Amino acid sequence: MTDKFDAIVVGAGPAGVSAAYMMARGGVNAVVIERGEFPGSKNVIGGVLYIKTINDILPGFWKEAPLERNVVQHSYCLMGKRDFSTISYRSVGSKGAPNGFTVLRSKFDRWFAKKAEDVGATFIMRTNVTELLQEGGRVVGVRTDRGDLKADVTIVSEGANTMLCEKAGLITKPRPDQMALAVREIISLPADRIQERFGLRESEGAAIHYIGSAFKGLVGFGFVYTNRDSLSVGLGATLSTMMKAKIKPYDLMESFKEEPSVAPYIANGLVKEYQAHMIPEGGYSGMPKLAADGVLVAGDSAMLSNPITGEGADLAVLSGRLAGETVALARKSGDFSARYLDIYRRTLSSSFVIRDMKKQAGLLRYIEENIDIIDRYPEAINAALEEWFRMDGASRGEKIRRIEGSIISKRRPAKIVRDVYTFGRKIL
């Protein structure tokens, strides 16, 4: 093996593998350095991989990849202190390619990495990158716990850990409100029991996202995703609110699993794995410098995530693809300067990823500053539904007046108007 490559990729997650695949296919001698024993061994995902961005790289990949279930049902569960309500959408019948699948990263990432190897990418496992090598202000390779490796360009896709970018001056250390801690359990259940409990057919899957009082004033969320013969159950919350509340993730996880809206799904299941990992929530304002002399930043390292839709892996794939394509162009031109590599930033900025991130900038900060909305709106909606469905002799007009009074008691009208305006402007 040579100690000089055209390109080095740090991290064998979706962004890193996508970059390696595109570079190798474009004739770039690329190496991926991964600290885990195999691709996916150190990676965690809540559960859903939306296929559009990876299908653009490997058309029809979902027909052979080790995916879990085709997600046909998406739900939001609004949890109150003593009740809950659910909003669901279910797709019925085939409308072409599926939208998304639940995945287990230890299986999927190995398969994806093999595709990159098949077109010529090299993988070095069980190796930790400690810093980016620089000469005259330009990144020229990486330092690892097994020695130095040189390259014309390095793509940093080390996940939510921003250590390399911080050392290279590409980003300042993220604040606690710019990072979230997520925990997840894999709970084993027979496939037929999963299908019965969620109302699914064989190979069909469901994704449920939870918000409300169960998160005890945190900027947080929960989830339950169906795999073939297991459930991915977990939650996440911003570090800043978790630190303020002095809540331990494991304790919060245990109380979440006992919620009436969660417990029936996981009853009699066996916990197979427990995992915790960081999620970048810095948004557009927290993004690092995406391109500099001899270096690009992709995936979670670039703060690419969407807390509103739960997207992450698909955004990483798109950024990795664009980074790989940019390096292939740079190799042909022989120019690895920041000015040339800025093609990546410009292309990514014109995509839906950055457009959405720009629009949603500051939304999590607004929620944290108005933390009571996490509890108040689910409580208000549940109270309204309870009133509407209770047959107590009151007229519908009276019930509507009661509902209006219940909502106003949860949050003042002026604040409701401000909330609606803020969320509408950031999301719609």
Residue 1: the pLDDT is 45
Model confidence, pTM: 0.93
4-68+103-173+285-349: CATH topology: FAD/NAD(P)-binding domain (3.50.50)
β-bridge pairing 204-212 and 179-188:
unpaired
Candidates 51, 60, 58; CA nearest to 103 is 51
- The answer for residues whose C-beta is within 8 angstroms of residue 73's C-beta and 6 or more apart is 88, 89, 90, 91, 198, 199, 200, 204, 205, 206, 207
Residue 94: the pLDDT is 65
Q: How many CB atoms lie within 10 A of CB 178?
A: 21
β-bridge pairing 30-33 and 4-10:
parallel
Residue 217: the pLDDT is 82
Residue 194: the pLDDT is 98
177-280: CATH topology: D-Amino Acid Oxidase; Chain A, domain 2 (3.30.9)
Rounded to whole angstroms, how far apart are CA atoms 58 and 65?
A: 10
Rounded to whole angstroms, how far apart are CA atoms 306 and 46?
A: 13
Hey, where are the domains in the chain? 4-68+103-173+285-349, 177-280, 364-427
Residue-wise over 352-378: b if at least 16 C-beta within 10 A, else e? ebbebbeebbebbbebbeeeebbbbbb
Residues 298/316, Cβ–Cβ less than 8 Å:
yes
The token duo for 49 is: 């991989």
Rounded to whole angstroms, how far apart are CA atoms 85 and 87?
A: 7
Q: What are the residue ranges in the chain where pLDDT is below 70?
A: 1-2, 43-46, 94-95
**In terms of C-beta density within 10 A (0-12 exposed, 13-18 middle, 19 or more buried), how is residue 7 classed?**
buried
| Model pLDDT for residues 21-50, shown as the tens digit of each residue | 999 999 999 999 999 998 877 766 657 999
CA distances from 211 to 51, 214, 238, 341 (A): 25, 7, 14, 40
231 φ, ψ to 5°?
-120, 140
